[in-house]
Structure 1
Amino acid sequence: MAERLFTRPTEPARPPRVARHGRARRVVPPPSWTVLGMLLVVLAGVLFVGAYANAAFVPDRQHTDHGQTRVPADVVDGGPILTAADGDVRSYRLPARTLALTFDDGPDPTWTPEILRVLAKYDVPATFFVMGSQVARHPGLVRDMVVAGHEIGVHTFTHPDLATLPGWRRRLEYAQTQLALASAAGVEATLVRFPYSSFANAIDDHDWPLVTEAGDLGYLTVLNDTDSLDWERPGVDRVVANAVPPGYSGAITLWHDAGGDRAQTVAALDRYIPLMKERGYRFTTVTEGLNLALAAAGIDQRAVANPPASGADRWRGTILAWAVRGADATLGLFGILFVVVGVLTIGRTVMLFVLALRHARRRRSRTWAWGPPVTDPVSVVVPAYNEKEGIAAAVRSLAGGDHPGGIEVIVVDDGSTDGTADIVDALGLSNVRVVRKPNGGKSSALNTGVALARHDLIVMVDGDTVLERDSVRRLVQPFADPQVGAVAGNVKVGNRTSLIAKWQHIEYVIGFNLDRRLYETLRCMSTVPGAIGAFRRQALRYAGGVSDDTLAEDTDITMAVGRAGWKVVYEETARAWTEAPATMGQLWKQRYRWSYGTMQAMWKHRRSLLDQGASGRYTRRCLLFLSLFGVLLPLMAPVIDLLAIYGLFFLDRTATAIAWLVMLGVQFLTAAVAFRLDREKLGVLWVLPLQQFVYRQLMYLVLLQSVVTALTGGRLGWQKLRRTGLEPAVSSGNG
């Protein structure tokens, strides 16, 4: 076995890798911030369209009369149809025994078809004042209205209070609704009804400029004579009574086909129409009623209801409709993802609290022990490539370990060009050997060290890692259980001075060490960290040695050991201090390699999902948790941030802020538990809120690019990090 491991074919990992068959593998370029920026701009545009099209509104209500000063008296005392173009103001009423049914706020996919059914039942035309955003969403309903002979009017695009908007916004509200109508039914509208409008005698100086502006734009402003008040849902009898005009006067009646439950409206119409027909009323559209009024007044002029729209407006309207429906679909998808993320987050948190705490209680029990003390000698393998900054401190910490069976340290210099091997030789430590070999990658160096190791308990430690004096002794104690094949140690961030390092420190304690407690309990540990891990030689033999098939050789070998039926456990008291990346660029490189390599390992071991026995059980659990919490949850987690930003701008800011603070509170609670279990000081958690705004987003992007790399078949280089070396004092405690 030793000979096979030593002579295992390898491929160079540093610098860029080459395939075994001599064919160069593509190295993925760094992330394109231009492309990312463009995607963010597009996403922001989609969310803005969604926010605009989903603007909330209050159902129509009677407008408060503030008193009239500049409003002409014949308007205040006139009818509900107003023309005010070029200063020529006129108002009209419908003739006696003439009714126009008008419906606001639609179309609605639930209630508009019901109302159309009642109108068709009695062969009655109506006028629908539609919202452009709803027309874009439900164009088929508008086409049905036009085909059935009903009239369409403008009720703005998003139902705002027009008097509070600047002129350009008002014109945009009208124009966008016209484009939506052009796309949906190929028509234009000449009628407009303002949101929250009421009777003619309620028009005041607040509203009058809207009327004159609409007239200059070519619109007829339509108010109403009788309001059914169906939006209040006072009961069917009350709705019918409200809509009956006094005497036998003509009237434009106000109803709603959207904006809430309209069951009373449908039932009231089914009684109102035959009732008014029995009283001798005829039903018309608003334009038809206006033409009757013009004819009765002897005016030789006819209004046109819905003239055809131009081809250009139809195309522009189609693009608008696509934008609205696309934004709706995006927001709907985000809503689903938000629920999924919430369920996964809560599920993971509950499991961490229940299982990780149970793991900690069991370990701290006075009766807990792995078995008799393990005193067998240990071989420590240190793969080293250009580690001159930290190799001396790392080797000294290993050679000075207090394991009673003795420690041999094998430093495998993997073609270093910075004198790493010479630094180790100069230490003159009797239990340290240096092996020089051509560069072949980390897996090649590890296999070389294992092959040369004299003992059956193998500890693997990175060349930039400093161990505490008792770490090796504590790390190998789980081997008292003959079923244990590998042990993960407790990796600590040594350089905690910078903000980036503090964030990583929090991540190590919560995301790595707390998770390992959970995964040991579930028998699905996926990674024995390269910084500090121990293996039985027999387990390595069963697993086939350390493979160079992936960039995450630690995950790959751990999964192979787990599939072979060995237990993989976590020993939190065996601490190792590593140097975390100090810049965003270095952090990106490291995490990019980790996440991409993990996906490679998952793909490599996928076929064992169908295995029987221990291999299948381990793989199904391991890949399930890695897929859900290592890939799917981080990929979808940005939805939380996007919806938080969206909510602050377009939804209830207080509710959004409270929801975000609750999420942060859950993270604080999880962090506090993890830090207490790891005996870490809580003071560093003051940077946790800041982590939400920079660090998390970087991790999202890293994982996203890793997924893109995997899907496109790219090949990632080793991404060697720059090291500055840990201070020896770091290894002295657990501060």
Structure 2
Amino acid sequence: MTALLALLLGVAVLTGHTLINATRWLRRPHRPPAEVTEPVAVLLPLRDEAERVAPCLRALLDQRGVPGLRVVVLDDGSTDGTADVVRAVAGDDPRVTLLTGATPPAGWLGKPYACWQLATRADPAATALVFVDADVVLEPDAVAAAVTELRAAGVTLLSPYPRIVTATAADRLVQPLLQWLWLTFLPLAAMERSRRPSLAAAGGQFLALDRAGYLRAGGHAAVADRVLEDIELARAVKRAGGRIALADGSRLAACRMYENWPQLRDGYTKSLWATFGHPGAAAAVVGLLLLLYTAPPLLAVGALAAGAPGAALVAAGAYLLGVAGRVVTARATGGRWWPDALTHPVSVVVLGWLTLRSYHLRKRRRLFWRGRPVS
């Protein structure tokens, strides 16, 4: 019973931290009261995105409140006619510039090199850079709100996390864990104040940066070979003396990251090994998550079967507190909580399997993404 009570207390503390982050420390950019007067460059890297780029680009061209907006698009070796779709959508709009990307040189991964080409070839007058992925659709005030919050917060990098669109059972099992993990385990207020690079998080789908601070940190050249280039960029900003901030961007942007289970599986597989680092650290973290969030419902059933209702009640309480953390996260980030939160123990099991798969394929040098080796 003592061990069960300790388990209940651990989950309660973490769920309490989730609630504090969500209600007190999570930034929520809104439509700014005035236009953004500084020139802004929106940077859009594309590789084989013909089927997804049109809604993204149309949303960028519909942005308001940013008179100095320029959109720079880079076609990174696409073979599916992505550049033709960009030309069809943009027409002769003078705000759009379409670039042809070069092959990544030795030591570079594809995404960082595409972003670096965009940043270095954008209008030199632009003082703010906004990176957007092709699977993101922005609301009309999103860029203005992000840049306004960037300046109001006094940070170098702002990561307004989009609302993650979930359309399949696999989506609903795995995708909500992204926001849940950083709301549960990352102290947002301390992250903003601390200069420790290890205390950092960011989502590359939608990033706003001060250009001078970005260049001071070395930009994407500083993270050329990093799979998680967004988090590593945030760390580079901190190492250069800048500050970073996370924000709820669910009212500003929506993102459908993967279309099906194979894409989702392979997308997580390519990067989870980089999230945890040493396999021993991954095993410890996954083991702790399984203990805290997957074991309680199993223990509750086992205790009932053994005729120990008190133990079953404590274990069920731990399970419900874990579910409550998912509910808080969903409500704070525009996600769906019913009935998805109830399957949280299964979500953690799937995350553990994806992590194991990531290390296994990396060891065998079989990690690829968009036709390029990842490691």
TM over 0.5: yes
| Structure 2 residue 266 is matched with structure 1 residue 584 | no
Could you give the per-residue CA deviations for residues 269-316 of structure 1, whole angstroms, max 9, x where no partner exists?
A: xxxxxxxxxxxxxxxxxxxxxxxxxxxxxxxxxxxxxxxxxxxxxxxx
In the TM superposition, residue 358 of structure 1 has moved relative to its aligned partner by 2.0
In the TM superposition, residue 688 of structure 1 has moved relative to its aligned partner by 2.0
| Structure 2 residue 217 is matched with structure 1 residue 543 | yes
Name the amino acid aligned to 1:658.
L
Number of the residue aligned with 1:528: 202
In the TM superposition, residue 431 of structure 1 has moved relative to its aligned partner by 1.3
Alignment partner of 1:639 out of 291, 308, 328: 291
Q: In 2 relative to 1, CA 363–466 (structure 1 residues): closer, same or farther, beyond 3 Å?
A: closer
Task: Please give the TM-score of this superposition, normalised by the length of structure 1.
Answer: 0.43
Q: In 2 relative to 1, CA 446–570 (structure 1 residues): closer, same or farther, beyond 3 Å?
A: same
Name the amino acid aligned to 1:488.
S
Could you give the per-residue CA deviations for residues 332-367 of structure 1, whole angstroms, max 9, x where no partner exists?
A: xxx98x89876654443232323442225x869xxx
Identify the structure with bigger relative contact order (alpha carbons < 8 Å, sequence gap 6+).
Answer: 2
Name the amino acid aligned to 1:385.
R
Number of the residue aligned with 2:180: 510
In the TM superposition, residue 647 of structure 1 has moved relative to its aligned partner by 6.5
| Structure 2 residue 74 is matched with structure 1 residue 412 | yes
| Structure 2 residue 10 is matched with structure 1 residue 358 | no
Name the amino acid aligned to 1:541.
L
Gaps of 5+ in 2: 105-109
Alignment partner of 1:557 out of 233, 243, 255: 233
Q: Secondary structure at the match of 2:338?
A: helix
Number of the residue aligned with 2:353: 701
Rounded Cα–Cα distance in structure 1 between residues aligned with 2:167 and 2:15: 29
Rounded Cα–Cα distance in structure 2 between residues aligned with 1:339 and 1:382: 50
Number of the residue aligned with 1:388: 50
Name the amino acid aligned to 2:74.
V
Q: In 2 relative to 1, CA 341–389 (structure 1 residues): closer, same or farther, beyond 3 Å?
A: farther
Number of the residue aligned with 2:63: 401
Are the counterparts in 2 of residues 461 and 533 from structure 1 also a CA contact under 8 Å?
Answer: yes
Number of the residue aligned with 1:690: 343
| Structure 2 residue 146 is matched with structure 1 residue 475 | yes
Q: 1:244-393 maps to which residues of 2 (within 5 A)? A: 345-359=11-25, 374-393=36-55
Name the amino acid aligned to 1:597.
A
Q: Secondary structure at the match of 1:689?
A: helix
Rounded Cα–Cα distance in structure 2 between residues aligned with 1:551 and 1:705: 16
Could you give the per-residue CA deviations for residues 485-543 of structure 1, whole angstroms, max 9, x where no partner exists?
A: 0000121123x33222333454355345x459842443266232111011112222122
Instruction: State the identity %.
Output: 21
Rounded Cα–Cα distance in structure 1 between residues aligned with 2:283 and 2:138: 31
Rounded Cα–Cα distance in structure 2 between residues aligned with 1:690 and 1:363: 28
Rounded Cα–Cα distance in structure 2 between residues aligned with 1:647 and 1:517: 29
| Structure 2 residue 97 is matched with structure 1 residue 433 | yes
Could you give the per-residue CA deviations for residues 461-489 of structure 1, whole angstroms, max 9, x where no partner exists?
A: 11221111111111111332484100001
Number of the residue aligned with 1:663: 318
Rounded Cα–Cα distance in structure 1 between residues aligned with 2:200 and 2:226: 14
In the TM superposition, residue 435 of structure 1 has moved relative to its aligned partner by 0.6
Q: In 2 relative to 1, CA 550–561 (structure 1 residues): closer, same or farther, beyond 3 Å?
A: same
Rounded Cα–Cα distance in structure 2 between residues aligned with 1:423 and 1:438: 19
In the TM superposition, residue 583 of structure 1 has moved relative to its aligned partner by 3.7
Rounded Cα–Cα distance in structure 2 between residues aligned with 1:460 and 1:716: 29
Q: In 2 relative to 1, CA 340–401 (structure 1 residues): closer, same or farther, beyond 3 Å?
A: farther
Gaps of 5+ in 1: 1-334, 604-626, 722-735
In the TM superposition, residue 402 of structure 1 has moved relative to its aligned partner by 0.8
Rounded Cα–Cα distance in structure 2 between residues aligned with 1:580 and 1:651: 44
Which has the greater radius of gyration? 1
Number of the residue aligned with 2:168: 498
| Structure 2 residue 132 is matched with structure 1 residue 461 | yes
Name the amino acid aligned to 1:358.
R
Q: 1:618-657 maps to which residues of 2 (within 5 A)? A: 632-640=284-292, 641-642=294-295, 645=298, 648-649=301-302, 651-652=306-307, 654-655=309-310, 657=312
Q: In 2 relative to 1, CA 416–492 (structure 1 residues): closer, same or farther, beyond 3 Å?
A: same
Are the counterparts in 1 of residues 15 and 184 from structure 2 also a CA contact under 8 Å?
Answer: no
Q: In 2 relative to 1, CA 398–716 (structure 1 residues): closer, same or farther, beyond 3 Å?
A: farther
Task: Please give the TM-score of this superposition, normalised by the length of structure 2.
Answer: 0.79
In the TM superposition, residue 652 of structure 1 has moved relative to its aligned partner by 4.4
Rounded Cα–Cα distance in structure 2 between residues aligned with 1:363 and 1:369: 10
Are the counterparts in 1 of residues 7 and 318 from structure 2 also a CA contact under 8 Å?
Answer: no
Q: In 2 relative to 1, CA 644–464 (structure 1 residues): closer, same or farther, beyond 3 Å?
A: closer
Number of the residue aligned with 1:487: 158
Rounded Cα–Cα distance in structure 1 between residues aligned with 2:88 and 2:258: 28
Rounded Cα–Cα distance in structure 2 between residues aligned with 1:409 and 1:516: 35
Q: In 2 relative to 1, CA 375–585 (structure 1 residues): closer, same or farther, beyond 3 Å?
A: same
Are the counterparts in 1 of residues 11 and 318 from structure 2 also a CA contact under 8 Å?
Answer: no
Rounded Cα–Cα distance in structure 1 between residues aligned with 2:204 and 2:335: 25
Q: Secondary structure at the match of 2:156?
A: strand
Q: Please tell me the root mean square deviation across aligned C-alpha atoms, in Å.
A: 3.6
Number of the residue aligned with 1:227: none
Q: In 2 relative to 1, CA 518–660 (structure 1 residues): closer, same or farther, beyond 3 Å?
A: same
Q: In 2 relative to 1, CA 425–340 (structure 1 residues): closer, same or farther, beyond 3 Å?
A: farther
| Structure 2 residue 111 is matched with structure 1 residue 442 | yes
Q: 1:61-100 maps to which residues of 2 (within 5 A)? A: none
Are the counterparts in 2 of residues 492 and 505 from structure 1 also a CA contact under 8 Å?
Answer: no
Could you give the per-residue CA deviations for residues 403-454 of structure 1, whole angstroms, max 9, x where no partner exists?
A: 3333211111110000101110112133111111234311111000001111
Task: Identify the range of structure 1 (454-463 vs 478-487) with the bigger mean alpha-carbon deviation.
Answer: 478-487
Rounded Cα–Cα distance in structure 1 between residues aligned with 2:296 and 2:25: 36
